[in-house]
Structure 1
Amino acid sequence: MSGEGHPSKTGSSKENALSAYRRGDPNALTLLERVLRDSPNDGELLVNYAAAAAASGATDPFSRIESILVQSPDWIDGQKALARLKTEFGLAKPLNTLEQAIELLPDHPGLWIAYIGLLGAGDQHEMAAEKVAGLRKRIGDLPALRLLEARHSGFAGQCDHAQMLLEGLPENIPELHYELARNSLRLGRLDQAAEALDAGLSKNPNDVGMLALAELCWRATKSVSHRWLLPDDLLVVQVPLNLGETQLDNLALAIAALHTTHSAPLGQSLVGGTQTRGDLRWRQEPEIVDLFAALEGELRTYASRLHSLDEKHPLKPLASRAPRITASWSILLESEGFHVSHLHNSGLISSALHLQVPKNLADGEGMLELGRPPSDIPLSIGPFAQFRPLPGHLVLFPSFVYHGTSKFHEGPRLTVAFDAA
C-alpha cells in the first residue's frame, strides 16, 4: 500500500484533491475519485475518499477500502481507519474486518496491537487486557506486553493486578513512570505516585500526561509545587470574542453543517454527540476563516500573561512567541450529553469556545469543569474551576489540566475547541 509520506505518481493532483477535501470544497469527492483511478491502492486517498463519501451520504461509502483490505488484510492504517469511520457513521460491528484479518493472520503483531488499541479506545479495557494476557502466554512475557496489560487492567479497575504487572519492569521502558504514577493514584498511594512523577518528570519535564497527573497529585497532597504549576488566576481565563449576534449565529450555522457523522469517534471524550472530522483551520468558509483570525489574537494576548512564570514552567516558552494552533475541531452535544474528564496532547494550551448553549440551564448544568480527576482515579478532589458556558466566550487553560463538562437536560451545545503550542 502507498500512503502518507509516499509520493504517488499523480503528484500535485493528489495534493490538490486532499487539500480540497480539507478545505471543504464541494468538488472534493469528485477530485478524490478522479485521482484514485490512477492510484487505486494509495492508502491516504482511500481513507479520505471513504470519509468524504460517507459524509456526502453515498451508498456503501467504504466499499473501496474494504476491497483493498480483503487483498491486504495486514494494512494496519487501513484497518484502524475503517474501524473508526464505521464507528463515527453508526455502522454495527466496526471491528469486524479487523477481527477477520486476525483470524487469517493470527500471529501478526501489528494487527493485534491495532485491535487492542481500538478495544481500549472503545472503553473495552477488560477485554483488551485479556487479549494482551493471551499474547503474553503465546509469544512470551515481554516487558512491553506487561506494560500494555497493566495499562488496560488499571482502566478496567483491576488495579492490584496492574500493580503486580508493573513491579519489576526495567526502568528504561518508555511510559513506565507514567503508568506507575497513574496506578498509584488509583490505589490512593499518593507518596508512591509522587515518587514516580518525580522520576518521570526529571526525564521529560514537559510531558503533558505526566504534568496532568502531577496537577492532581500535588493538589491532593497540598504540595507547594501545585502553586508553581498553576499560579492563581494566571493560566485559566474566560474572555468574550466580541462577535456580533449575527456573526455568532452565522458561525454556528457554518460549524453545525460540518457535523455529518452519527456517533462519537473512538477514544474521544464526548458522550451523546458528534465531533467534526479533519482540522477546522483549513476550512474555506468565511465565517470560519474570520473565527481563526480572532482566536489567534486572543492567543497572543494570553501569551503576554506568561512572562511572570518561572523559567522552568512548561508554558514559559510561549511568553516569547505567538502560540500556533496545532489542531481544531467542533463538538455538538445533544440533550443529556457531556464530556468525560480528559486531556489533549497536541499542544500546551487547550480551549473551549461556546457557540450555542442550551436555554434555561439549571445551576450546575453544562458547566466546563477544570481539574476533575478522570473516572479511573478516585481522588477526593473535585474541579478547581468551573465555567458557565456563555455564547461567544472562549475559555483558555493549560493542556495539562483535565477537563470535562456536566450534563444538561435539553437542547444542543455547540463548541469549537483547539490546541496551541
Structure 2
Amino acid sequence: MIGLSPQDWYDRASAAAQAGDAMGALATLRSGLAAHPDAPGLWHAAGSTLMMQGRPAEAADHFRKAFTLDPRQFDHAVDQAIALSAAGRNAEALDVLVRVEKKGAKHAHYCSTRANAERGMGHGAAAAKWYDRALTIEPNRPKALLGRANVALERGERSALQRFDKALDVDPGNPMILLAKAQALEVAGDAEGALALVGEVTAGFPHYTDALQLKAQLLLAMGESDFTSHFAAAAEQVPADPAIRVSWCRALAGMDREADAAEVAAQARATFPEEPGFALLEAVYAGAAGDNGRADAIFAQLALDTPARHVHEARHRVRQGDYDAAEGLLDTALAAQPDNIDAWSLRGIVWRLIGDPRSQWLHEQAGLVELLPFAARSGLLDKAAATLREMHAVSTMQIGQTLRGGTQTRGALFQRADPVLAELHEAARKALNRYRSALPPVDPAHPLLRHRDAPWPITGSWSIRMTGDGGHHKSHIHPDGIVSSALYLVVPEEARGEGQRGWLEVGRPPPDLGLDLPPLRVIEPRAGHLALFPSTLFHGTTPFDTAERLTVAFDVASEAR
C-alpha cells in the first residue's frame, strides 16, 4: 500500500463501508491518516464514520482537525458542531459556530445547526431565530421544521400545532414529528387526541421507546391502573430490542412499582443473557422493593465494572449496614467521575452514619443551605401564580418524578415566551448570584464549591402545584445540577406552626435506605422566599391536607462540570 494517495485511501474506505464493514472502513481511514496526516478529507471522512458508529465526541475531534487543516471549508466546522451537540457539548458547539457565522449564516444547514445548539443550551429565543432563518433560506427543510415546532412547543407558542402539521406535510409519517405533535395536543388539553396519535406511533413503531413512555404517561393521567401493558405488546412485536424492556422498567419504577420492575428486568435478563445491564436493573429494583437477599446474590455475581454499578451497589450496602463497603464503592465511582452527584449524595449519608467529620464539610458549612427573600417587583409573584395555574390546569403528575399528588408542568418553564416568566427567570438569576456571593471560598475538593466561580446557567425549570390530600415529594436528588431550589409562590395556612405540614426536609435519606437519620435542616415554606441548597443533598417535603401550595423549582448547572 506504499504510495497510495489520500483519494486511494478514501476510495478503499468507501468500498468497505458500502460492503457493510464500518470497522474496516475506519481502520482503512486511520491507515490513510498515518500515511497522510495532513489530508483534511481523510480526517473528515473518519469523523463521519465515527458519527455513524455513535461516537460523536471522537468524531468532533476529527472534524476539528479537518477544519484546522482547511479552514476554507466551513462545513468541517459545522460538522464539528453537530458532533459536539450530539455529545451534549452545546456550549463548545456554539463557540465553533460563532467563529464561522459570517460565512455560515447564508446557509440553511449552518442556521439549523446553530439553532439546535442554542436549543441545547436552553436559549429558546435564539433557537427560534436561527430556525426561522434556516426556513427563510430553505422553507421545506425537514429538520428545521421539526426543530422550530419543538421550540414553539417548549416556549408555549400558540403556533406549535400548526408547525407540527407543516412538518408532517413535508415529512409525512415521521414518528418523531407525530410524537411531538401528540405532546403538543396533551399540552393543549386534548389528552384523548394525544393518546390516539401516540397509539398510531406505537402501533407502527413499537421500538420507539419515547412514544411508549408518553403513552404510559397519558394512560396514568387518565386513571388507568395498568398503564404499562403496551410495553408487553411492544416487546412481543420486537423481541430482539432490549431498550423496550429498559423503558418498561423505568415506567414501573417511576410510579413506585419497583417489585414489578424487578420482574420485568429478570425476564429481560433471561432473554438477553449477554446484557449485564439487566442484572444490574434487577438488583437495583429488587433492593428498592426490600428484597435485599435477591439483590445481594446478583451483585455477588455481576460482571460489570462501571460507576453506575458501584453507586447502585453502594446504595445496597448502605441498606445492609455495611458502610465500609459502601464507602469503598463510592470512592471507586468518584475516582472515575468526580462530579457524580448520586455518589456524593450517598457519600454524605455514609459519612453521617459513621460520624465522619467530613459530613459537616460536605453539607453543613454556613451558606450552603439558605432560605432567601425573593426580590421581585410588586405584583410579579401574583402574576406568575396566575400564569402557572393556567398551565397546571392541563398538567399531570409525571412518571419518574418525585411528586405524589398534584401536578407538574412539562418542559423548561423559563424557556417559555412569556414576559412574566422571563421576569421571574431574571429575578431567580439575581437571587442565585446573592446566594453564590455568600458561599464559602472555592474548594477544589468540594462538589459544589469547586464550581463556585464558574458560570452557573439555570437549566431545568418547572412548577409544582399541590392542593392537599397528603401531597408531598419523595426524598430525592437532582443529579444533573449542582444547586437545587424551591421558590414559594403560594403557601397553605396549614404550613405555619409546629405541625411542619408541607415543609421542606433537607438531608433526610430516601425511605428505601431504611435509615433513621433526621434531616439536616427543616425549612418552613414562606411565600416570596427561595430555598437554595447543594444538589448532593437529598430533599423532600412533608405531606399536607388542605389548600394550595404553588412552587417553582429550577436546577443550576456549571459550565465547568
CA contact (8 A) 2:333 2:343 kept: yes
More displaced, 198-207 or 234-243?
Answer: 198-207
- The equivalent residue for 1:98 is 231
Aligned pair partner of 1:351 in 478, 485, 507: 485
- Shift of the 169–103 alpha-carbon distance from structure 1 to 2, 3 Å rule, reads closer
Report if aligned partners of 2:404, 2:474 keep a CA contact under 8 Å in 1. Answer: yes
In the alignment, residue 338 of structure 1 is paired with which amino acid? Answer: H
Deviation at 1:83, TM superposition (A): 2.0
Give the letter for the 2:389 counterpart: A
Q: TM-score, normalised by structure 1?
A: 0.92
Sort the Cα spacing of 1:198 and 1:321 in 2 relative to 1 into closer, same or farther, 3 A.
closer
1:253 and 1:93 map into 2 onto residues whose CA distance is 34
Q: 1:68 to 1:197 in 2, by over 3 A?
A: closer
Any residues of structure 2 matched to 1:8-407 within 5 Å, and which? Answer: 9-58=141-190, 59-88=192-221, 90=223, 93-140=226-273, 142-170=275-303, 172-244=305-377, 246-261=379-394, 263-306=396-439, 308-335=441-468, 336-361=470-495, 362-363=497-498, 364-407=500-543
- 1:240 and 1:210 mapped to 2: Cα distance? 31
Cα distance in structure 2, aligned partners of 1:316 and 1:60: 48
Higher Rg of the two aligned structures: 2
In the superposition, the TM-score normalised over structure 2's length comes to 0.70
Letter in 2 for 1:337: G
Question: Secondary structure of the residue that 2:392 maps to in structure 1?
Answer: coil
Contact 1:300 1:323 in 2 (8 A): no
Kept after mapping to 2: 8 A contact 1:326/1:420: yes
Deviation at 1:98, TM superposition (A): 2.3
Structure with higher RCO (Cα < 8 A, 6+ apart): 1
**Counterpart contact for 2:352–2:359, Cα < 8 Å:** yes
CA–CA separation in structure 2 for the residues paired with 1:145 and 1:11: 34
Distance in structure 2 (CA, Å) of the matches to 1:278 and 1:308: 34
CA distance in 2: counterparts of 1:380 and 1:254, whole angstroms: 40
Q: Using the alignment, how far apart are the partners of 2:512 and 2:226 within structure 1?
A: 26
Secondary structure in structure 1 of the residue aligned to 2:465? strand
CA displacement, residues 292-340 of structure 1 (integer Å, 9 cap, x when unaligned): 1011112222222345242211123432233111110011112121101
Superposed CA offset, 1:80-101 (max 9, x none): 2322343345556432332221
Alignment check: 8 A CA contact 1:188 1:379 kept: no
Q: Spell out, residue by residue over 1:381-410, the C-alpha distance to the aligned partner (whole angstroms, 9 max, x if none).
A: 110001111111000001111000001121
The answer to whether the Cα contact below 8 Å between 1:356 and 1:391 also exists between their aligned partners in 2 is yes
- Give per-residue Cα distances to partners, 1:195-215, cap 9 Å, x unaligned: 222222222221000011011
SS at match of 1:345: coil
- Is the 8 Å Cα contact of residues 89 and 261 (structure 1) preserved in structure 2? no
Taking structure 1 as reference, are residues 275 and 60 closer, same or farther at Cα in structure 2, changes over 3 Å only? same
More strand by share: 1
Q: Is the 8 A contact 1:306 1:315 kept in 2?
A: no
Please report the RMSD computed on the Cα atoms of aligned residues, expressed in angstroms.
Answer: 2.3
1:419 corresponding residue in structure 2: 555
Q: How big is the shift at 1:141?
A: 6.9
More displaced stretch, 103-112 vs 345-354? 103-112
The one-letter code sitting in structure 1 at the alignment partner of 2:532 is L
Listed one character per residue, the Cα deviations across residues 159-196 of structure 1 (whole Å, up to 9, x for unaligned) are: 12211211243462341211221011111222222222
Instruction: Decide whether the 8 Å contact of 2:501 with 2:543 is kept in 1.
Output: yes
Using the alignment, how far apart are the partners of 2:466 and 2:327 within structure 1?
36
Q: Secondary structure of the equivalent of 1:243?
A: coil
Structure 1 vs Structure 2: percent identity of aligned residues? Answer: 32
Q: Could you tell me how far apart the structure 1 residues matched to 2:206 and 2:250 are?
A: 17
CA contact 2:502–2:544 (8 Å) conserved in 1: yes
Aligned-partner Cα distance in 2 for 1:256–1:411: 14
**Contact 2:258-2:289 at 8 Å conserved across structures:** yes
How many residues get paired? 418
Unpaired stretches in structure 2, ≥5 consecutive residues = 1-84, 87-108, 113-139
Structure 1: state its 5+ residue gaps: none
Contact 1:22 1:279 in 2 (8 A): yes
